[in-house]
Amino acid sequence: MSTVRVKLQRRASILDKLVGEAVAALDVLSGVAVASRENPAGAKAPVNEKDSLTQAEKRHAAGLMRVNHVGEVCAQALYRGQALVAKRQELRSLLLEAAQEEVDHLVWCSERVKELGSRTSLLNPFWYLGSFALGVMASAASEKYNLGFMAETERQVEAHLDSHLESLPAKDDRSRKIVMQMKEDEIKHRKTAQRHGAVKLPAPIPGLMRLTSRLMTSTAYWI
């Protein structure tokens, strides 16, 4: 009887985790997720901001911020997937802390896209599911490679955000403030992973990650 009870408890625990992940995914995809920090650009856009950007500049900025929003959808799913099957509580806590900061980025980007008169990507459910599965697979490797995956992800995101800082319209200070804070947080995540033992990934993997990222960004800019 006791053996049966233990098995039922384990199954319930796994089920609870999966239900929790489903709820987290719905929060992200439905747009009801709440940031734990204030938007670095401020609560609301100035009334006259729309007049300072041309229609072409607003479309371009919205496209870039939509890409950034998709990146945060992917990061949220990736880290939650890694945390779900991570063996040590310390590693799970590290991944979930990073995921929470990615929620902040997600909300800020969503708010900015709407301010610019646009919408987030229609393919977000696809991006989330794919990234969550990738996170689960990454955790199947040793912990040092799991952390290496986190560090490489953040390294590529840093470069991606740098390119957006160069490409954003000169007068779009609100988007720039958000992207700058995002970059600061991503650098912190990378350094945290390295401090906890991340190792460099085998040669083919970073290249494949860049190709996947290029496909995602080129699609999310428009869709």
Low-confidence spans in the chain with pLDDT less than 50? 1-12
Show the 3-state SS of 36-84: CCCCCCCCCCCCCHHHHCCHHHHHHHHHHHHHHHHHHHHHHHHHHHHHH
| pLDDT for the residue 51 | 62
| pLDDT for the residue 6 | 46
Is pTM beyond 0.75? Reply is yes
Q: Which CATH class name applies to 2-220? A: mainly alpha
Closest CA to 39 of 169, 177, 165, 173: 177
- Is the four-CA dihedral 36, 42, 48, 50 of positive or negative sign? negative
- b/e 169-206 (16+ beta carbons within 10 angstroms → b): beebbbbbbbbebbbebbeebbebbbebebbebeeeeb
> pLDDT tens for residues 167-198?
999 999 999 999 999 999 999 889 988 988 88
| pLDDT for the residue 67 | 93
| pLDDT for the residue 16 | 72
| pLDDT for the residue 57 | 93
| pLDDT for the residue 91 | 82
Each domain of the chain, given as residue ranges in start order, spans 2-220
